[in-house]
């Protein structure tokens, strides 16, 4: 699905990063995307998905929820082998990209390049950060969203919104102070509806998560539980 | 298309790297793949294609010629964001990957990891090199193919097989001395049938090229001209 | 020379980056440092120097002006081969480091790590930036100094303070708005006293330069000319 | 100390990598170098040392044993900030560099660049490798030495020459088959004279080690024990 000019995600939103898990490769990745679509429709909530890179164009053509690339490179189209341009994300039918995920950090000048160029192409950037200071710094670059994720909690099942509520609340406060339009997500360890509710109550516009759904025995049940925290 | 266990490309072969050109993004990338498929069938020749990364699963499901990723990362499946695993290449329906392209160089331990693991997954690796010494070194790692491309000729239209025949002939000789099973391609500046014929006469098993077709006014005509040099 | 606890450079300041030029290697690098020291003393001005990495401990022990590393890695002391820690900069007798030079860009989380840890070790960080937005972002991390250098002017002899005064003036304004304690330098193309004077008049606390002195026929004369613009 | 034209290290040799440990920073790094020098003289054995990068020029001017950089970048002298050139290693009075340490891996084309250029400057390259296949590959590039170090044993105190003798013996055999002039070192977990003796008996020309001496309570005693295994 492609959002129209100037459109934004409906918030609160759950953004599911499929990562490079075995459980999200090939057909399984499409199944996950279909589950997200079903739950979004059935529950009337906003869910976006980040398929594995090689599957992005395929999955974006088969589901109606917003799709994001997991990563984009700070390069112009041209003689570049194996790099992902913002233009190719648009052509693939996606609405934007995660940027600077803790597993795929970028140079600051490259984040600035990506955020600026994405805006000119009407693509959404969700820039991941590791703490409050970096969140503020990134907000100065005017991305669509900042997603704060303390690296030490990623994949632990111990939700940032429960274990470290101050980082969520203060990131929201500081980022909005720099740019009140900026969407703020939080992530790391988010597993269930309570974690989501806690995040929303702390002022976040949504959550970014991965293993809590991708590696769940029953991903749909896990997702239904998560959306219960949205409102 | 997926090759069966232990299968190899039919040689001589033309491998088309679509790179990240505007002319190969989205639908245009699929059109290029379809042209390659048509020419392969009509002329009974062996052509493989490397779509843009985000389009790989989609294009691999829509054409019958072998598809390669342009790049693969030396990572295991798991908590990796925006990286491309060998497993995801297989799930996408591709037959292998370019490795260490001059525009996307890799560490030697990572090339070793990729080549070894790809073999265990029945995936083909085409490892790019910049000179004879590096070609010999790579051959010791036992990839499916070595593709020698002097960086200074890439994208120039001055074909390596015409301008620097010694590098082609000596790469063939030295690589086959290390591993006689290893396929040897050459690339950089290859534009027409004469360039291909010269490469084959120097002992190469095929060519790797990009702009000569992708940026041609009439890509099909360019490709038909190229295959005229195959035999 | 090592500055005491909580000390800062005297401003306005000229910071000379020796880079990896032939003209600054080995003995020549020490000669350049000695010239900087002489001019600083003779003219009563503030000059700091960034020797080549391998020479830092040696030169820092032989001159009395402040020495900076050209680069520091975001690593803790330990089992790290060939990386430069903040601790080793302190042990070498230097007062801090350039960070994120346009020729050696860093990830944003790493800049944050370095800036934060340097402050705790009483080391000064001069973080290089490429435009106003990135300068503001970096200022949020609270480095000792921001040095804005438009990459397209580096090494051209066309001074940023003359060719693009707005970037200097606005970087000063925006950085001081975020953190009024933050020192602001500018660089790229700075060659003579007029360029320095223009920078100071635009509100900069000094300049960062390299080729204008290192590659000058008479480095001392070039430096004397530069300091004439300081006040 | 600088070796003369075409000179090589006397073998068997112990190469001590000081890494970025607290115990090898600043004055302590010089003390370690002095201990190596003393033991080399007192025992008539061949010991080389790799000081921390910032200390290289200083230490190389103060000891008579051969000094290596821990890392060198594949760049030409010039407008490069914070990178270490081969030329600067020579100017610093060192005899060569470690290359591609497991903690600082390089791209294969860059290893080729460094090895080739170092030879032309009469500098010695010790290229680290992680297994037999990569050792053979590197040997094709004609470095001065290959140092095989299984990453999983580094810093464990479990010596490669005792725990995995086959990797040492086979690396020696395969590397010498490719290039009989190539010196072969082994490393990882080497702690005492028995480990060294085992390495020599397996055909290695010496050992590369770090923590076994740097982090020893009595580095000199540790080194004396190590040299007891040399012959």
Q: What is the ipTM of this complex?
A: 0.94
C77 or D157: whose pLDDT is higher?
C77
A-chain residue closest to B76, CA distance: A20
Q: Which two tokens stand for residue C49?
A: 């120097």
Task: Please state, rounded to an integer, the average pLDDT across all residues of chain B.
Answer: 95
Confidence label for A82 from pLDDT (cuts 50, 70 and 90): very high
Say whether the B–C interface has 3 or more Cβ pairs within 8 Å.
no
For residue range C76-106, list pLDDT tens digits in order.
Answer: 999 999 999 999 999 999 999 999 999 999 9
The answer to whether residue D19 scores a pLDDT higher than 80 is: yes
Say what the pLDDT of residue B157 is. Answer: 84
Say what the pLDDT of residue B7 is. Answer: 74
DSSP C91-145: HTT--EEEES-TTS--BHHHHHHHHHHHHHTT-EEEEEESSHHHHHHHHTT--SE
Chain C nearest CA to A109, separation (Å): 7
Residues of D in contact with B105 (CB under 8 A): 107-110
B-chain residue closest to D106, CA distance: B107
Q: Which two tokens stand for residue B111?
A: 């090339």
Q: What is the mean pLDDT of residues C22-36?
A: 96
| CB atoms closer than 10 angstroms to residue D220 | 17
pTM of the full predicted structure? 0.95
The answer to whether residue C225 scores a pLDDT higher than 90 is: yes
Q: Which two tokens stand for residue B34?
A: 């379809």
DSSP chain B: ----TT----SSEEEEE-TB-GGGSHHHHHHHHHHHHHHHHHHT-EEEEE--GGGHHHHHTT-SS-BEES---S--SBS-SS---HHHHHHTT--EEEES-TTS--BHHHHHHHHHHHHHTT-EEEEEESSHHHHHHHHTT--SEEEE--GGGTTSS--HHHH-HHHHHHHHHHHHHH-TT-EEEEESS--SHHHHHHHHHTT-SEEEESHHHHTSSSHHHHHHHHHTT--
**Which subunits count as partners of chain B given 3+ CB pairs below 8 Å?**
A, D
Q: What is the mean pLDDT of residues C186-198?
A: 94
Distance CA A124, CA B28 (A): 23
A-chain residue closest to C105, CA distance: A107
Say what the pLDDT of residue A210 is. Answer: 94
Say what the pLDDT of residue A3 is. Answer: 58
List C149, C152, C174, C181, catalytic entry: C149
The answer to whether residue D213 scores a pLDDT higher than 90 is: yes
Confidence label for D3 from pLDDT (cuts 50, 70 and 90): low
Nearest to C169 by CA among C139, C154, C148, C152: C148
Chain A nearest CA to B79, separation (Å): 6
Residues of A in contact with C100 (CB under 8 A): 107-108
Say what the pLDDT of residue A231 is. Answer: 78
Distance CA D176, CA D182 (A): 6
The answer to whether residue B82 scores a pLDDT higher than 60 is: yes
* B134 beta partners: none
3-state SS, one letter per residue, for chain A: CCCCCCCCCCCCEEEEECCECHHHCHHHHHHHHHHHHHHHHHHCCEEEEECCHHHHHHHHCCCCCCEEECCCCCCCCECCCCCCCHHHHHHCCCCEEEECCCCCCCEHHHHHHHHHHHHHCCCEEEEEECCHHHHHHHHCCCCCEEEECCHHHCCCCCCHHHHCHHHHHHHHHHHHHHCCCCEEEEECCCCCHHHHHHHHHCCCCEEEECHHHHCCCCHHHHHHHHHCCCC
Say what the pLDDT of residue D96 is. Answer: 97
C-chain residue closest to A139, CA distance: C137
The answer to whether residue C181 scores a pLDDT higher than 80 is: yes
D2 or A48: whose pLDDT is higher?
A48
Chain A nearest CA to B23, separation (Å): 9
Say whether the A–D interface has 3 or more Cβ pairs within 8 Å.
no
The answer to whether residue A45 scores a pLDDT higher than 60 is: yes
Closest Cβ–Cβ partner in A70, A83, A92 for B55: A92
> Would you call the peptide bond into A12 cis, given omega within 30 degrees of 0 as the criterion?
yes
| CB atoms closer than 10 angstroms to residue C75 | 18
Closest Cβ–Cβ partner in B25, B53, B58 for A53: B53
- Pairwise CB contact (< 8 Å): B137 & D141: yes
For residue range C122-179, list pLDDT tens digits in order.
Answer: 999 999 999 999 999 999 999 999 999 999 898 888 999 999 999 999 999 999 999 9
Nearest to A71 by CA among A49, A89, A92: A89
Say what the pLDDT of residue A7 is. Answer: 74
Residues of D in contact with B146 (CB under 8 A): none
Q: Which residues contact D38 (CB under 8 A, 6 or more apart)?
A: D220
Confidence label for C13 from pLDDT (cuts 50, 70 and 90): very high
Confidence label for D155 from pLDDT (cuts 50, 70 and 90): confident
C-alpha dihedral sign at A49, A52, A58, A62: negative
The answer to whether residue B5 scores a pLDDT higher than 70 is: no
Chain B nearest CA to A93, separation (Å): 9
Task: Please state, rounded to an integer, the average pLDDT across all residues of chain D.
Answer: 94
Say what the pLDDT of residue B3 is. Answer: 58
Do B33 and A36 contact (CB within 8 A), yes or no?
no
For residue range B160-180, list pLDDT tens digits in order.
Answer: 999 999 999 999 999 999 999
Closest Cβ–Cβ partner in C105, C106, C141 for A137: C141
The answer to whether residue C2 scores a pLDDT higher than 60 is: no
Q: Which residues contact C45 (CB under 8 A, 6 or more apart)?
A: C12, C14, C39, C227, C230, C231
Residues of D in contact with B102 (CB under 8 A): 109
The answer to whether residue C3 scores a pLDDT higher than 80 is: no
Q: What is the mean pLDDT of residues D72-91?
A: 97
Q: What is the mean pLDDT of residues B19-36?
A: 96
Q: Looking at A151-155, A195-199, B23-27, which range is the least confident one?
A: A151-155
Say what the pLDDT of residue C157 is. Answer: 84
Confidence label for D4 from pLDDT (cuts 50, 70 and 90): low
Nearest to C216 by CA among C39, C7, C9: C39
Residues of B in contact with D103 (CB under 8 A): none
Residues of D in contact with B133 (CB under 8 A): 112, 116, 140-142
- Pairwise CB contact (< 8 Å): A105 & C108: yes
Instruction: Suggest the residue from C49, C72, C81 to mutate for an interface test with chain D (most D CBs closer than 10 A).
Output: C81
End-to-end CA distance of chain B: 24
For residue range A89-104, list pLDDT tens digits in order.
Answer: 999 999 999 999 999 9
Confidence label for B156 from pLDDT (cuts 50, 70 and 90): confident
| Torsion on CA atoms D68, C86, D21, C110, rounded to nearest 10 | -100
Locus of tokens 């810093």: D155
Q: What is the mean pLDDT of residues B54-83?
A: 97
Say what the pLDDT of residue A6 is. Answer: 59
Say whether the D–C interface has 3 or more Cβ pairs within 8 Å.
yes
- Pairwise CB contact (< 8 Å): A130 & C109: yes
| Ordered strands of the A206-209 beta sheet | A46-50, A13-17, A206-209, A183-187, A145-148, A124-129, A96-99, A68-69
Q: What is the mean pLDDT of residues B4-19?
A: 86
Q: What is the mean pLDDT of residues B193-217?
A: 95
Concerning whether C149 is annotated as a catalytic residue, the answer is yes
């Amino acid at each position: 699905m492609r959002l129209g000019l100037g459109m934004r995600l409906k918030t609160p939103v759950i953004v599911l990063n499929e990562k490079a898990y075995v459980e999200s490769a090939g057909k399984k990745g499409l199944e996950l995307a279909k589950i997200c679509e079903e739950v979004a429709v059935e529950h009337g909530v906003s869910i976006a998905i980040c398929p594995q890179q090689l599957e992005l164009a395929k999955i974006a053509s088969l589901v109606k929820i917003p799709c994001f690339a997991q990563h984009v490179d700070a390069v112009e189209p041209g003689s570049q082998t194996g790099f992902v341009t913002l233009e190719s994300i648009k052509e693939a039918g996606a609405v934007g990209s995660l940027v600077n995920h803790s597993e795929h950090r970028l140079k600051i000048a490259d984040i600035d390049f990506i955020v600026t160029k994405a805006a000119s192409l009407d693509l959404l950037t969700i820039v991941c950060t590791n703490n409050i200071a970096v969140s503020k710094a990134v907000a100065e670059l005017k991305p669509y969203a900042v997603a704060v994720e303390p690296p030490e909690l990623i994949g632990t099942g111990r939700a940032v919104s429960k274990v470290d509520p101050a980082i969520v609340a203060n990131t929201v406060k500081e980022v909005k102070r720099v740019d009140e339009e900026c969407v703020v997500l939080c992530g790391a360890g988010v597993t269930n509806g309570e974690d989501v509710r806690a995040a929303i109550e702390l002022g976040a516009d949504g959550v970014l998560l991965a293993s809590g759904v991708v590696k769940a025995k029953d991903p749909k049940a896990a997702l239904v539980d998560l959306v219960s925290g949205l409102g």
